[in-house]
């Protein structure tokens, strides 16, 4: 027996309005009038017998029922679009849009991407770098690689690895090549701060019992990569993060002025996507490849830190 479905046009209108968070923007996307969008939403609400949006004077927002219904429909429309592309453009590669922080992309992911393309020539990676975590409801991103606690609802989290933070600098800042006598010596140095991730320096200082040192008084950068490159030039002490400084340490471009004082980051690294798209073919292939590459990298800590709290709040803005 054929299942009864709500009107397809009304479902399409609801998905566009929910994704855009606006009837007006949905109307612009669908090339219809604002009143047509409103009519289709009301028709769908009557059909389902529930209120999908809460109407306010100048805006609308999803009701609890609407919040539950939206990811189901978005996933369904995504699968329809993916299937359509495979049928009508079978010789073109599928595109997987992946977002990551710039340091992870530059120092780890990009050098390995040719291996993925060789293994999966049918999938083209479109890499997007940003310091902001993805807003999956409103951005056209398939998956992102981020550091955090993995607690946002409606998303699928695949644990990748954990990491540590610690001070690094050029050997030119060490007297006679010897490490600093104590963390207090940092007060005499120019500290290189990554301002979107400013809590990282404070976390390291607090866990090492250091007082009287303010990392916000030094030079400010918007990414770890820029801070580390500046540290290589002998212009200050940066905070390094495993595994992104391992090769620089091995090559002698950076040194640890305070060895033995590494501190776990407050969140683990995850591959994140919308729950309803987690098992699409292209995403499953990328996930499998990514986990294999991480397993091959001896610098990666693939065991969760047992001392790390399971839910640690971390700001949406990061600059790894």
Q: Does residue 307 carry a pLDDT above 60?
A: no
10 Å Cβ neighbour count for 204? 23
10 Å Cβ neighbour count for 123? 18
Q: pLDDT tens digits, residue range 193-205?
A: 998 888 899 999 9
- Dig out the tokens for 33 from the structure: 């009038």
Query: What's the gap between Cα 190 and its chain centre?
Result: 30
The CATH code belonging to domain 164-264 is 3.40.190.10
Choose among 282, 308, 269: nearest CA to 101. Answer: 269
Question: At a CB cut-off of 8 Å and minimum separation 6, what does 79 contact?
Answer: 277, 280
Planar angle of CA 17, 19, 20, nearest 5 degrees: 65
Q: Does residue 318 carry a pLDDT above 60?
A: no
Q: Does residue 222 carry a pLDDT above 80?
A: yes
pLDDT at 317: 38
Report residue 118's pLDDT band, with 50, 70 and 90 as the boundaries. very high
Region 148-168: mean pLDDT is 89
**Please, what sign has the CA dihedral across residues 264, 205, 235, 259?**
negative
pLDDT at 263: 93
Region 84-102: mean pLDDT is 76
Identical topology for domains 8-87 and 164-264: no
Bond into 33 cis (ω within 30): no
Q: Does residue 278 carry a pLDDT above 80?
A: yes
- Residue-averaged pLDDT of the chain: 86
Q: What is the DSSP letter of 178?
A: P
How much is the pTM?
0.67
The CATH code belonging to domain 93-162+266-296 is 3.40.190.10
Which CATH architecture group holds 8-87?
Orthogonal Bundle (1.10)
Q: Would you list the domain boundaries of the chain? A: 8-87, 93-162+266-296, 164-264
Largest CA distance in the chain: 83
Q: 302 or 165: which carries more pLDDT confidence?
A: 165
Residue 183 phi/psi, 5-degree rounding, is: -60, -20
pLDDT at 115: 95
Report residue 314's pLDDT band, with 50, 70 and 90 as the boundaries. very low
pLDDT at 229: 95
């Amino acid at each position: 027996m054929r299942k009864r479905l709500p009107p397809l046009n009304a479902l399409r209108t609801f998905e566009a309005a929910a994704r855009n968070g606006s009837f007006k923007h949905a109307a612009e996307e669908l090339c219809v009038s604002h009143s047509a969008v409103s009519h289709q939403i009301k028709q769908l609400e009557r059909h389902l017998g529930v209120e999908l949006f809460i109407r306010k004077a100048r805006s609308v927002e999803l009701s609890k029922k609407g919040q539950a219904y939206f990811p189901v429909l978005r996933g369904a429309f995504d699968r329809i679009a993916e299937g359509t592309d495979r049928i009508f453009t079978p010789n073109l590669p599928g595109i997987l849009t992946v977002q990551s922080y710039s340091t992870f992309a530059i120092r780890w992911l990009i050098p390995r991407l040719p291996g993925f393309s060789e293994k999966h020539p049918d999938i083209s990676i479109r890499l997007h770098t940003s310091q902001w975590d993805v807003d999956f409801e409103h951005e056209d991103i398939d998956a992102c690689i981020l550091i955090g606690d993995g607690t946002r609802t409606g998303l699928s989290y695949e644990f990748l690895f954990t990491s540590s933070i610690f001070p690094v600098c050029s050997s030119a800042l060490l007297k006679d090549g010897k490490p600093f006598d104590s963390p207090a010596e940092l007060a005499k140095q120019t500290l290189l701060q990554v301002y979107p991730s400013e809590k990282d320096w404070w976390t390291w200082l607090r866990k090492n019992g250091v007082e009287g040192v303010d990392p916000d008084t030094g030079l400010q950068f918007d990414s770890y990569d820029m801070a580390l490159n500046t540290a290589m030039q002998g212009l200050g002490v940066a905070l390094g993060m495993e595994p992104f400084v391992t090769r620089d340490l091995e090559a002698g471009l950076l040194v640890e002025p305070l060895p033995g004082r590494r501190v776990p980051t407050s969140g683990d690294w995850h591959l994140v996507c919308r729950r309803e798209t987690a098992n699409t073919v292209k995403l499953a292939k990328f996930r499998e490849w990514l986990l294999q590459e991480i397993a091959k990298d001896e610098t990666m800590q693939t065991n969760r830190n047992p001392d790390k709290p399971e839910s640690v709040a971390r700001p949406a803005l990061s600059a790894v």
